Structure 1
């Protein structure tokens, strides 16, 4: 199976794979951060939006929300979930918007889907161009230097007569700008069990490298990866939430 074939072929199972994610808590936390650091505007874009659950929560909170993704089947589901939103098929490393935005989000570590540090820089530049003055770019990230290749998360979910087991974990060789998300899905019915294995290539970056990419054009605030509280990053943990405020133009 090709690198992203599983992501495409199982788009109908994506929400089941993410059933343990608290989309509302994540969305509420970013809205609080936007209230603290943002420009009070309500125009929002979710980058790598998938099937649109975060977009749904932002719409319900009164935002004019939109989404982009590279996967059309995902966008088709998102459009059904959020008929009042607009969605576009675009690469996150180089995207364009029709009107300036006040908030750009990128959840679920999807910032790492940029293909290398150059593309990550392009994504940051695209976000900067798309934002109004004082607009905010929020995303979560993992520090390559703190990845434990032995750690993984696993959960099981039921759909009709089928049982699904999902397992995922980061892997980093210890050098270079490439890491991967290793994913396996097991589907069991009364008669058979099918197993898919997939590996998504992603950009590997340390937090110091990431901050260096952001600081020329953004005021950067880093918080612990906790959507229940707003706690500054302790400079130790390997997962964090980045809140990046577009710098004002110099007079």
Structure 2
């Protein structure tokens, strides 16, 4: 399946694909980061919100939470999960809002979906414009220079439509601003197997490059990719959380 076919044709299985993600821990961690680095306020926008699981957790914590995504089938499911939220079909690299937000999030490495450096720069500018003064932007990212192309993450899940196996892996060719997220999905039912391969173009940046892009817009804290403990980035790991306060 080329392009973004996975998210169009398999949007009904997206939550199954992400079944091992601890959305509660991620959302709670970001609320703690807002208490530490941001400003008081409950207006929240989740970029690349998908089917809305993070939005649900923020709503349940008392936030006025909203979501944005480029995929309408995802947003349709998000609206069912979070009927009290507002969802917008927009590109996170070129979006606008009616009122500023106190907190903007972009989970699950989705910041890389910007696809290229200039679009990433546009995304950061759009986030800056959408935040209230002193507002917080939180996201996670991977450093292109620390990607192990031989590494992957896999899990299995059972569904009424069959047994599923999901595998994802980063791939960086070693130079340039492009990397990819490779996805493999297999569904087995009644002794038959169906396989999908998907590869998504993603922007590749080092953390040094990302810091340069963020610096004109934000005061930046780089933290260990640990949703249970808030620790400074150890300068070695390839994944990190970014807590960015609007300036």
Instruction: Please give the range of the TM-score, normalised by the shorter of the 2 chains.
Output: over 0.9
Alignment correspondent of 2:195: 195
User: 1:217, CA displacement in angstroms?
Assistant: 1.4
Alignment correspondent of 1:117: 117
Alignment correspondent of 2:73: 73
In structure 1, what is the Cα distance between the partners aligned to 2:71 and 2:115? 16
- The secondary structure found in structure 2 opposite 1:57 is helix
User: 1:191, CA displacement in angstroms?
Assistant: 2.7
Q: Residues 68 and 161 from structure 1, CA distance in 2 versus in 1: closer, same or farther, beyond 3 angstroms?
A: closer
- The secondary structure found in structure 2 opposite 1:167 is strand
- The secondary structure found in structure 2 opposite 1:99 is coil
Residue by residue over 1:192-227, the C-alpha shift from the partner in whole angstroms, topping out at 9 and shown as x without a partner, is 101100101000000000000001110000000000
1:86 aligns with 2:86: yes
In structure 1, what is the Cα distance between the partners aligned to 2:102 and 2:150? 39
Q: Which consecutive unaligned segments of at least 5 residues does structure 2 have?
A: none
- The secondary structure found in structure 2 opposite 1:30 is helix
Alignment correspondent of 2:222: 222
In structure 2, what is the Cα distance between the partners aligned to 1:24 and 1:203? 27
In structure 2, what is the Cα distance between the partners aligned to 1:161 and 1:72? 22
User: 1:161, CA displacement in angstroms?
Assistant: 5.3
Residue by residue over 1:33-86, the C-alpha shift from the partner in whole angstroms, topping out at 9 and shown as x without a partner, is 001111111100000000000000000001000000000000000000000000
Alignment correspondent of 2:11: 11
- How does the TM-score come out when normalised to structure 2? 0.99
In structure 2, what is the Cα distance between the partners aligned to 1:118 and 1:161? 41
In structure 2, what is the Cα distance between the partners aligned to 1:160 and 1:77? 18
Alignment correspondent of 1:154: 154
- The secondary structure found in structure 2 opposite 1:150 is coil
User: 1:1-251 to 2 correspondence within 5 Å?
Assistant: 1-160=1-160, 162-247=162-247
In structure 2, what is the Cα distance between the partners aligned to 1:201 and 1:70? 15
- The secondary structure found in structure 2 opposite 1:19 is coil
Moved over 6 A (4+): none
User: 1:160, CA displacement in angstroms?
Assistant: 1.9
- How does the TM-score come out when normalised to structure 1? 0.97
In structure 2, what is the Cα distance between the partners aligned to 1:44 and 1:6? 27
In structure 1, what is the Cα distance between the partners aligned to 2:20 and 2:108? 12
User: 1:115, CA displacement in angstroms?
Assistant: 2.2
Q: Residues 199 and 161 from structure 1, CA distance in 2 versus in 1: closer, same or farther, beyond 3 angstroms?
A: closer
CA RMSD of aligned residues (A): 0.6
In structure 1, what is the Cα distance between the partners aligned to 2:206 and 2:95? 24
In structure 1, what is the Cα distance between the partners aligned to 2:62 and 2:97? 20
In structure 2, what is the Cα distance between the partners aligned to 1:188 and 1:176? 38
